[in-house]
Structure 1
Amino acid sequence: MVAERTLGDVLDGVRGGPARTLVPPGGGTDDSARATVVRDITLDSREVQPGTLFCCVPGERRDGHEFAAGAVAAGASVLLVERRLPLDVAQVLVTDARSATGWAAASVFGHPVDSLTMVGVTGTNGKTTTAHLIGHVLRATGRRTEVFGTLSGRFTTPEAPALQRALAGCRDDGFDAVAMEVSSHALALGRVSGAHFDVSVFTNLGRDHLDFHGTVERYFAAKAHLFEGQFTDVGVVNTDDVHGRLLFDTASIPLVPFSIDDLVDVVVGPTSHEYTWRGRRVRVGLGGGFNVMNSLAAATACASLGIDEAEVAAALSGAPAVPGRFEPVDAGQPFTVLVDYAHTPDGLEEALRAVRAATDGDGRVIVVFGCGGDRDREKRPLMGSVAARLADVVVITSDNPRSEDPLEIVDATRRGVPDDYRGRVVTEPDRRTAIGAALRSARPGDVVLIAGKGHETTQTIGDLVLPFDDRAVARELLAEQELGGGR
C-alpha cells in the first residue's frame, strides 16, 4: 500500500502545515537525511516497524516524545518532533506535530484523495445518516464508494495516519469515492490535515462534546474549520440552523444552502418520509422529520457534485435503512418500538417530536434513555428536561457509564425534570430492566423510543465492555413477555 520512498520525497510532497526544519543524525548531512527510506508513518510507538516515520505528538495524558527512543529501537527511521531529541536518527522539527502528522501522512501514502471523490459530513446530529445516504446515491449512480464513520469503526474519524492509510486502501482497491463523517475532535486534533474534500456538508450544531471543547463557540469553530479552502472546495450548509446561517455568512469558500423551504408536499411517517425536491418526488425509507433534513442534505451534496438531479431523487427513493437510526423493532407487537442514536438534548428533542408526530389517536410516547459517563455532565439535566416535557412515560437508565457511578448519572439526569412532570418519570439504572419496563407499559398504538446507543453492540461499565445491543435486547424481551404476535 505504501510505495517505498525517501524522506526527501515525503518532505517535497507535503502540501501544507507548519514550517519544517530537517535535522540530520549526528555527523550526517541534509542530503543523507533526505535519502532515508520511509515505509510507513504512525504516532503509535507500538506500530513502529523498520522504516517507519514516528510522529512525536503531545497527547492529553502522555507526550509522544517520551516514546521516541523505543520507536527508534523498534526501527523508526525518522522522527517528527517539536523539540530536538538526543537520538541518532533523522528528525523533522516542527512547531505543531499533530497538524504536521496529517500533512506528512498524506505525502507518505501518495495523496490518495487525488484519486477519489471526497465528501465530508460534519454536524452534531445527522452525520451518520447523511453520510450513508450520500454513499448510497454515489453507489446507485455508478461510483464504487466507501463510507467512513460511526458505523465503520470505534472513532468517527481515525487518527491521520490511519485515515490516510484507509484512503490509500480505497484508492488501491479501485474505489471511486469516499463519504465520511468528520467529527469536531478530528478537526480540532488535526486528523484531517492533508485530506481534501470536493464537497463538505454542515448538518446542524447543538450541545455535544463540551467536555472536550469547553464552549459551544469553540465547538462551532472546530466544525467551521472544515469549510476553509485547505480542506474543502464547496460547502453544503443547513441554513435553517442558526450556526449554519453564521457559517454561510462567514465562510470563505463557495457555499450551497439547503432549507426545508426547498421542499413542497412533505409527508412524514414513523418509517418513511417523502417530499418534492426540485420538481421530483422523493420517498425515503427513514421515519422522523429530522431525517427529512438528512436526506435533503444528501440530495444537495450529490447535486453539488454534478450528479443529475433525477438520478439523485431516484437513488434516494431506494436508500436502505441506517442501522440504529430510528430503526424499528417489529416482533408483531401492537405498538411501535424504535431504536435511535439520539444522545444530545437537541437530538433527543428531534426524535421525540418525530415520534409524537407519528403516534395515532391516543397513542402515548414512551422513552428509555441515559447519559454517557465521562462526558459532558451539563447536558444530563437538559436531557431529563427534554424527555419529561415531550414524552408521556420516561424511563431514565444507564447509557455507557464508563468510570462513573451509574446511579449518580441517573440522578443528575432526573434533576433536570421539572416538578410538574416528575410523575411521568421512573429511574432504573439497569438498561435491560429499563427497556423491559418500558415495553411492559406499552399499550396498543403507543410508540416506545429506546434512545442513546442506536447501532452500538456493547455497553461500557467501569473497565468492562459488555455485549449489549438495544435492538437485540428489545426483540428478546418482546419474545419473553409474549408481546409479539399481536397480543
Structure 2
Amino acid sequence: MALNAAAVADAVRAVGVRCELIGDGSVEVIGATHDSRAVEHGSMFACLRGAAFDGHTFADSAVAAGASALLVDHELTGATGATQLVVDDTRIAVGPAAAAVYGHPSDALVTVGITGTNGKTTTAQLVATILDDVGHRTGVIGTLHGPRTTPEAADLQQTLAGFVTDGNTAAVMEVSSHALALHRVDGTTFDVVAFTNFGQDHLDLHETVEEYFRAKSMLFDRSFAPIAVVNVDDPHGRVLADVLTDRTGDDSMRVVEISVDEVTDVAVEAGRHSYRWRGHDVDVPIGGDFNVANSLAALTIAAELGIDLDAAVAGVARLSTVPGRFERVESAAADRRGISVVVDYAHTPDGLEQLLMSARRVVGPDHRVIVTFGCGGDRDRDKRPAMGDVSSRLADRTIVTSDNPRTEDPARIIDDVLSGVGEEYRSSTTSNPDRRAAIAEALDVAERGDIVLIAGKGHEATQDLGDVVIDFDDRRVAMALLDADAPLAEERTHTS
C-alpha cells in the first residue's frame, strides 16, 4: 500500500500530534524505517533521537538512498531534497505514521498484547498455540523472535504488515516496558491486552520502580484495546485492575481479573502442570507452578477472544516446549542418575524466586535445589544483591557465575551478587566466573532426587563477553556435560 506524504501527515494529526508538512505532499510513501541502512526507494525515514545517535544526522544519506519523506522534529535545511513531516517528537509520531503507511495492519489481525515483568514469553506462546489450534495462522513477536522484545515502531508495523501479506490472521505480541516508554506500539490496536505480574527490572532505563510500573500501565488504555486481562494475585495487578475499573467514559476498558484461586486440583511436575478450571481438566506440558498463572492467563485471553473453552484447553495441551522457560533438559544420563535439569530465563529477583520456589515444590523437602546463575553486565545493578539474597535463602546450593557481562568485569558483577548473601548462607554459596565450569559443578554435586537449575540466559544461544560474542547455549552445554559424565556413577544418593 502506498500513501502520499500529505495523507501520512493527516494520519499523524488524527491522533492529536502536531504535524507540519514541508515540501511536496503528493510524493508517495511506500514504507517506513528508522534505520538509514534499510531505506528503500519511496521510504519515509524517521529521525529518532537515542542515547547514542541522532537520526537527523543520517537524513541526507537516507535521501540519497531513496527516501521520499523525512519525519523530523525540526525543519532540516541544506541538501535534504525530500518532503519533511515536522513534529514535536518523532518517537510519538512514528508509530501512527508507519501504521498508516502500512495500511493499519493490526486492524486486519486478531491481535493480543502481553506485558509484565515475567511470563510474557510463555503466555504469548500458549496464546499462539491456542489460536493456531483453532485455525488461525499466528505470528508471534517477542523475546524469542528478534533482538528486541518489541521492535521499534516502524519495524513493528512492517512486521505486522508482513504477517498480513503472508496470510496470517492473528498476532501475539510481548510488549516491553521499553516499548511503551518509547512509544513503539503507538499506532497498534489490540483485541485484548494482558498483565502477567510486576517485579524489579530495567531500572537502568526507568530509574524508579514507580516509573517502571507507570510504563507497564501505559498499555492499558482504551486507545490500545477494549479488554484487559489482569493477574490480581500480583499486588501491582490488583492496583491496576482497581484503577481501570474506576475509569468511565471513553477511557474505560472491560477488566477481566484472573487469580489462581479460580483453579483447583493443581499438580506440578518438572515437565508439566495441571489443574481444573471452569469445569475443564487442564493439562499443560511445561513445568513450574508459576506457569499455572501463565496458562490461566492464556486460557482467559482465549475465552475473551470468543474461543470455545474445550478448544482452548485442547490447544494448551499441545504446547511444544517454550525455549528456555522451565525447559527440562532431556538426557538419558540425567534420567539414570535420577536428577532433573532445568534451564530458565529467570533474570530478575522475582523471577528467580518463583523459579526456586517452583523447583522446591517439585523435589519436596527430602531433596535439594541446586542453582547456577549470573547477572547481565551494563544493566540494572540494583537487582544483583537481591538475586544473591533470594538464591542463597531458597536454594540448597548456589553457584554464582557469569551471564552476559558485556563491557563489565565479570568478577565485579559476581561480587555485586554475593554482596546480598547473608552470613548464614555463605557456606552454601560459591562462585565461578566460567559459566561452563559452573554448570559442570552444579551437575557434578547433584544426587538422586535433586533438581539443577541453570538460570538467567534461557533460550539464548550466545554469550556476550564485551569484545567478543561466543556460542553458548545452556541447554546444549548441560547436555554435553551430562553425556560426558554418563560413564561415571549411575546413582548418587544424597546423604548429608
Q: TM-score with structure 2 length normalisation?
A: 0.94
Distance 2:95 2:212 in 1: 21
Which residue of 1 is the match for residue 65 of structure 2? 74
What stretches of structure 1 of length at least 5 have no aligned partner? Answer: 25-32
Instruction: Identify if the C-alpha distance between structure 1 residues 17 and 450 changes in structure 2 by more than 3 Å, giving closer, same or farther.
Output: farther
Instruction: Give the ranges of 4+ consecutive aligned residues of structure 1 lying more than 4 Å apart after TM superposition.
Output: 483-487
Distance 1:82 1:9 in 2: 18
Shift of 1:75: 2.2
In structure 1, what residue type is equivalent to 2:452? V
Which residue of 2 is the match for residue 337 of structure 1? 341
SS in 2 for 1:219: helix
1:27-50 C-alpha deviation (Å, 9 max, x unpaired): xxxxxx221121221111112222
Distance 2:10 2:54 in 1: 27
Distance 2:278 2:409 in 1: 51
Distance 2:69 2:330 in 1: 56
Shift of 1:112: 0.6
6-15 vs 298-307, greater mean Cα deviation: 6-15
Which residue of 2 is the match for residue 241 of structure 1? 234
In structure 1, what residue type is equivalent to 2:306? G
Distance 2:38 2:313 in 1: 45
Shift of 1:480: 1.6
Asked if the contact 1:144–1:177 (Cα under 8 Å) also holds between the matched residues in 2, the reply is yes
Which residue of 2 is the match for residue 29 of structure 1? none
Instruction: Identify if the C-alpha distance between structure 1 residues 448 and 483 changes in structure 2 by more than 3 Å, giving closer, same or farther.
Output: farther
Task: Tell me which of 462, 475, 492 is aligned to 1:471.
Answer: 475
Check if 1:306 corresponds to 2:310: no
Q: Aligned runs of 1:4-23 on 2, under 5 Å?
A: 4-14=2-12, 15-16=14-15, 18-23=17-22
1:444-472 C-alpha deviation (Å, 9 max, x unpaired): 11110000011110000012111000000
Distance 1:469 1:299 in 2: 31
Shift of 1:485: 9.3
Shift of 1:484: 8.1
Asked if the contact 2:117–2:199 (Cα under 8 Å) also holds between the matched residues in 1, the reply is yes
Asked if the contact 2:6–2:21 (Cα under 8 Å) also holds between the matched residues in 1, the reply is no
Distance 2:178 2:409 in 1: 26
Shift of 1:361: 5.4
1:237-268 C-alpha deviation (Å, 9 max, x unpaired): 00011110111111232110100111111111
Check if 1:215 corresponds to 2:208: yes
Asked if the contact 1:360–1:445 (Cα under 8 Å) also holds between the matched residues in 2, the reply is no
SS in 2 for 1:227: coil
Distance 1:144 1:276 in 2: 28
Which residue of 2 is the match for residue 228 of structure 1? 221
Which residue of 2 is the match for residue 35 of structure 1? 26
Distance 2:387 2:448 in 1: 27
Number of positions where the alignment pairs a residue of Structure 1 with one of Structure 2: 477
Which residue of 2 is the match for residue 108 of structure 1? 101
Check if 1:49 corresponds to 2:48: no
Shift of 1:57: 1.2
330-339 vs 460-469, greater mean Cα deviation: 330-339
Asked if the contact 1:287–1:326 (Cα under 8 Å) also holds between the matched residues in 2, the reply is yes
Which residue of 2 is the match for residue 60 of structure 1? 51
Check if 1:139 corresponds to 2:138: no
Shift of 1:235: 0.6
Asked if the contact 1:348–1:383 (Cα under 8 Å) also holds between the matched residues in 2, the reply is yes
415-424 vs 87-96, greater mean Cα deviation: 87-96
Asked if the contact 1:17–1:100 (Cα under 8 Å) also holds between the matched residues in 2, the reply is no
Check if 1:435 corresponds to 2:439: yes
SS in 2 for 1:226: coil
Measured on the aligned residues, the alpha-carbon RMSD in Å equals: 1.4
Distance 2:16 2:41 in 1: 26
Asked if the contact 1:149–1:156 (Cα under 8 Å) also holds between the matched residues in 2, the reply is yes
Task: Tell me which of 155, 158, 161 is aligned to 1:165.
Answer: 158
Which residue of 1 is the match for residue 249 of structure 2? none
Asked if the contact 1:17–1:99 (Cα under 8 Å) also holds between the matched residues in 2, the reply is no
* Identity between Structure 1 and Structure 2 (%): 52
Distance 1:459 1:343 in 2: 15
Distance 2:42 2:165 in 1: 21
1:46-87 C-alpha deviation (Å, 9 max, x unpaired): 122222211111111121111112222222211111111104
Asked if the contact 1:263–1:275 (Cα under 8 Å) also holds between the matched residues in 2, the reply is yes
Q: Aligned runs of 1:147-296 on 2, under 5 Å?
A: 147-251=140-244, 252-296=252-296
Which residue of 2 is the match for residue 395 of structure 1? 399
Which residue of 1 is the match for residue 75 of structure 2? 84
SS in 2 for 1:404: coil
SS in 2 for 1:100: helix
In structure 2, what residue type is equivalent to 1:386? V
Distance 1:398 1:482 in 2: 26
Distance 1:149 1:390 in 2: 30
In structure 2, what residue type is equivalent to 1:398? S
Asked if the contact 1:331–1:484 (Cα under 8 Å) also holds between the matched residues in 2, the reply is no
Q: TM-score with structure 1 length normalisation?
A: 0.96
Which residue of 1 is the match for residue 494 of structure 2? none
Check if 1:355 corresponds to 2:346: no
